[in-house]
Structure 1
Amino acid sequence: MFGIAQGPTKQTATDAINVFSGRLQSATLLEDRRNAILGLRSFARQFPASVASGALRGLIGSLGKDVDDVDTVKVVLETLIMLFNPDESSPEASEEISLWLADEFTQRQDNITILLDLLETSDFYSRLYSLQLLGEILSARSERTEECIFTAPLGISRLVAILDDRREVIRNEGLTLLTYLTPHSTELQKLVAFENAFDRIFTIIKLEGALSRGDRVVEDCLILLANLLRMNVSNQSFFRETGCTPKLGQLLSDALNTDEQEEAVAEWAQVQRNRNIYALLAVLRLFLVRGAVGTPANQASFWQHGVLKSVLQLAFDRSTEMRIKSEALITCGDIIRGNPNLQEAFAQLQVSSVVDAPVSNGDANPQQDHSAKVSSVVDAPVSNGDANPQQDHSAKVYVIDGLLDLTLSIPSLQAFDARLAACECIKAYIYNHPAIRQHFFRRAIEGHSSGADETANVLTTLLRPTSRDTPTDPYRYWFAAVIVYHLICEDGDAKAIAMGIAEGDTSSGEEEITCIQTITANLINGLQKGDDERVLVGYLMLLCGWLFEDPDAVNDFLGEGSNVQSLCTNFLQKTRHCLAPRYTSFWYPNLEGTNILIAYTSSGGTHYSMILKFYHKNLDQQA
Structure 2
Amino acid sequence: MDFFKRYGAIGGNQPQSPADTIQRMADRAETSTLLEDKRAAVLGLKGLSREYRVDVGEAALGALLKVLKEDSEDQNLLKAVLETLNNLCVRESPRGEASEASAVQADLAADRFSQAILRDSDDVISTFLGLLGDADFYIRYYTVQLLGTLHTCSGDELQKRVLVSPTGVGRLVDLLSDQRDIIRNEGIQLLIAMTKSNADIQKIVAFENAFDRLLGIVDEEGGVRGNIIVQDCLQLLHNLLNYNVSNQNFFRETSGIQRLPALLITDPSQTAAGRSGHPMSDADEEDPEWTKQHALNMLVVLDIIRMLIQPGNTNTQSNQTAMQQCGIIPPLLQLALAYEAPSSVRSQALYAIGDVIRAHQANQNLFQRILITAATDDDTINPGTRAIPEPAIVIVIRLSVGKRPAAVSANEYYIVRAAAAHLVQAYVGSNADAQLALAATLTPPGDINTISESEQHQSAGSLIVSVLLDWREACREDVWRVWYAALLLSTILRDHGECKEQALKITLGDTSRGEEPLPLINELMSQARQATQHGADARVSVALLTLMSVWLSNFPKGVSVFLEESANISFIVEQISGSTGINALVQGVSAFLLGLVYQFDIDPETPMTRESLYPILSKRVGADQLLIRVQRLRDSKEFQYAVGLAAGTYSNAFGGAPAEVFFDGVFTELFKQHYESFRLAIRLGPNEALANPSYAYLQGSMTGYASSAASGSAPGTPLVAGASTISRSASPAGGSSAAGGLGGMLAPTLTDRVSAEPTVAKAEYDALNAKFAEQTNEVSELRHALESSAAAYSALASAPQQHDRVDSAQLDQERSQLARVEAERDEHAKEVLNLRAQLEEVQKQLDISQLSGQQPMPDSDTATRVSELEQQMTALRLDNEKRETDWQSRCDELQKKLASAEKQVVKAAAAVRSTNKKKEQQQTADLEAMQADVKAKDELIAQLTAEVGELSKKAEQLDQMDELKERLANLEKEQEDLLVYLADQDQRAKENRAKLRKYGEDIPPSDDEGGDDDDE
Task: Please say whether Structure 1 and Structure 2 have the same fold, judged by a TM-score greater than 0.5.
Answer: yes
Matching residue of 1:615: 683
Are 2:668 and 1:600 aligned? no
Give 5+ residue unaligned stretches, structure 2: 1-10, 272-279, 452-456, 597-612, 623-678, 686-719, 727-1016
Match of 2:202 among 168, 189, 208: 189
Change beyond 3 A, Cα 1:165–1:308: same
Q: Which residues in structure 2 correspond to 1:513-532 (within 5 Å)?
A: 513-532=518-537
Partners of 2:571 and 2:66 in 1: CA distance: 86
Are 2:596 and 1:583 aligned? no
Are 2:441 and 2:462, in contact at CA under 8 Å, matched by a contact in 1? no
Matching residue of 2:257: 245
Partners of 2:533 and 2:269 in 1: CA distance: 53
Are 2:400 and 2:421, in contact at CA under 8 Å, matched by a contact in 1? yes
SS at match of 2:684: helix
Partners of 2:549 and 2:246 in 1: CA distance: 43
Matching residue of 2:504: 499
Structure 1 residue 113 displacement after superposition: 1.1
Matching residue of 2:491: 486
Match of 1:167 among 177, 180, 183: 180
Give 5+ residue unaligned stretches, structure 1: 1-5, 357-369, 374-387, 603-610
Amino acid at match of 1:338: A
Structure 1 residue 169 displacement after superposition: 0.4
How many residues in Structure 1 have an aligned counterpart in Structure 2?
Answer: 577
Partners of 2:292 and 2:343 in 1: CA distance: 13
Identity of counterpart residues, as a percentage? 29
Q: C-alpha deviations, 1:265-324, integer Å up to 9, x for none?
A: 567x82222222222112211112111111111111111112211111111133323222
Partners of 1:613 and 1:151 in 2: CA distance: 66
Matching residue of 2:216: 203
Partners of 1:448 and 1:601 in 2: CA distance: 40
SS at match of 1:457: helix
Change beyond 3 A, Cα 1:463–1:70: closer
Are 2:419 and 1:407 aligned? no
Matching residue of 1:316: 337
Match of 1:390 among 381, 384, 395: 384
Amino acid at match of 1:584: A
Are 1:520 and 1:563, in contact at CA under 8 Å, matched by a contact in 2? yes
Amino acid at match of 2:529: I
Structure 1 residue 164 displacement after superposition: 0.4
Partners of 2:156 and 2:445 in 1: CA distance: 61
Structure 1 residue 466 displacement after superposition: 3.5
Match of 1:372 among 376, 380, 402: 380
Matching residue of 1:362: none
Matching residue of 1:281: 302
Q: Which has the higher contact order (CA 8 A, sep 6+)?
A: 1
Structure 1 residue 437 displacement after superposition: 0.7
Matching residue of 1:219: 231
Change beyond 3 A, Cα 1:119–1:371: closer
Q: C-alpha deviations, 1:332-366, integer Å up to 9, x for none?
A: 1111111111111102213342337xxxxxxxxxx
Change beyond 3 A, Cα 1:272–1:8: same
SS at match of 1:406: helix
Structure 1 residue 595 displacement after superposition: 11
SS at match of 2:372: strand
Change beyond 3 A, Cα 1:298–1:217: same
Change beyond 3 A, Cα 1:585–1:462: same
Amino acid at match of 2:250: F
Match of 1:541 among 543, 546, 549: 546
Partners of 1:614 and 1:397 in 2: CA distance: 48
Are 2:244 and 1:232 aligned? yes
Structure 1 residue 532 displacement after superposition: 2.0
Structure 1 residue 622 displacement after superposition: 7.9
Are 1:584 and 1:594, in contact at CA under 8 Å, matched by a contact in 2? no
Q: C-alpha deviations, 1:555-581, integer Å up to 9, x for none?
A: 433333221222232451653412202
Are 2:426 and 1:428 aligned? yes
Range 227-236 or range 313-322, more displaced:
313-322
Change beyond 3 A, Cα 1:447–1:519: closer
Change beyond 3 A, Cα 1:228–1:505: same
Are 1:404 and 1:456, in contact at CA under 8 Å, matched by a contact in 2? no
Q: Which residues in structure 2 correspond to 1:76-475 (within 5 Å)?
A: 76-85=81-90, 93-108=105-120, 110-212=123-225, 214-253=226-265, 256=268, 261-264=283-286, 270-355=291-376, 372-373=380-381, 389-392=383-386, 395-411=388-404, 413=410, 414-445=412-443, 453=458, 457-461=462-466, 464=469, 466-475=471-480
SS at match of 1:616: coil
Change beyond 3 A, Cα 1:613–1:306: closer
Partners of 1:613 and 1:352 in 2: CA distance: 51
Structure 1 residue 465 displacement after superposition: 5.1
Amino acid at match of 2:305: L
Change beyond 3 A, Cα 1:192–1:594: farther
Structure 1 residue 85 displacement after superposition: 3.4
Matching residue of 1:605: none
Are 2:566 and 1:561 aligned? yes
Partners of 2:553 and 2:682 in 1: CA distance: 20
Partners of 1:497 and 1:396 in 2: CA distance: 26
TM-score (norm 2): 0.53
Partners of 1:479 and 1:79 in 2: CA distance: 61
Matching residue of 2:37: 32
TM-score (norm 1): 0.84
Structure 1 residue 82 displacement after superposition: 0.9
Structure 1 residue 74 displacement after superposition: 0.3
Change beyond 3 A, Cα 1:255–1:580: same
Structure 1 residue 494 displacement after superposition: 2.5
Structure 1 residue 499 displacement after superposition: 3.1
Matching residue of 2:73: 68
Are 1:405 and 1:456, in contact at CA under 8 Å, matched by a contact in 2? no
Structure 1 residue 429 displacement after superposition: 1.1
Structure 1 residue 38 displacement after superposition: 1.3
Matching residue of 1:56: 61
Are 2:398 and 2:463, in contact at CA under 8 Å, matched by a contact in 1? no
Structure possessing the higher radius of gyration over alpha carbons:
2
Are 1:175 and 1:220, in contact at CA under 8 Å, matched by a contact in 2? yes
Partners of 2:24 and 2:268 in 1: CA distance: 64
Partners of 2:581 and 2:220 in 1: CA distance: 64
Matching residue of 2:770: none
Partners of 2:224 and 2:58 in 1: CA distance: 48
Change beyond 3 A, Cα 1:622–1:83: farther
Structure 1 residue 220 displacement after superposition: 0.7
Range 198-207 or range 459-468, more displaced:
459-468
Partners of 2:173 and 2:322 in 1: CA distance: 27
Partners of 1:595 and 1:128 in 2: CA distance: 84
Change beyond 3 A, Cα 1:587–1:105: farther
Match of 1:42 among 16, 37, 47: 47
Partners of 1:287 and 1:612 in 2: CA distance: 44
Structure 1 residue 463 displacement after superposition: 5.8
Partners of 2:13 and 2:67 in 1: CA distance: 33
Partners of 2:615 and 2:26 in 1: CA distance: 86
Partners of 1:397 and 1:548 in 2: CA distance: 33
Are 1:352 and 1:402, in contact at CA under 8 Å, matched by a contact in 2? no
Are 2:575 and 2:590, in contact at CA under 8 Å, matched by a contact in 1? no
Partners of 2:324 and 2:52 in 1: CA distance: 60
Partners of 1:37 and 1:313 in 2: CA distance: 59
Matching residue of 1:360: none
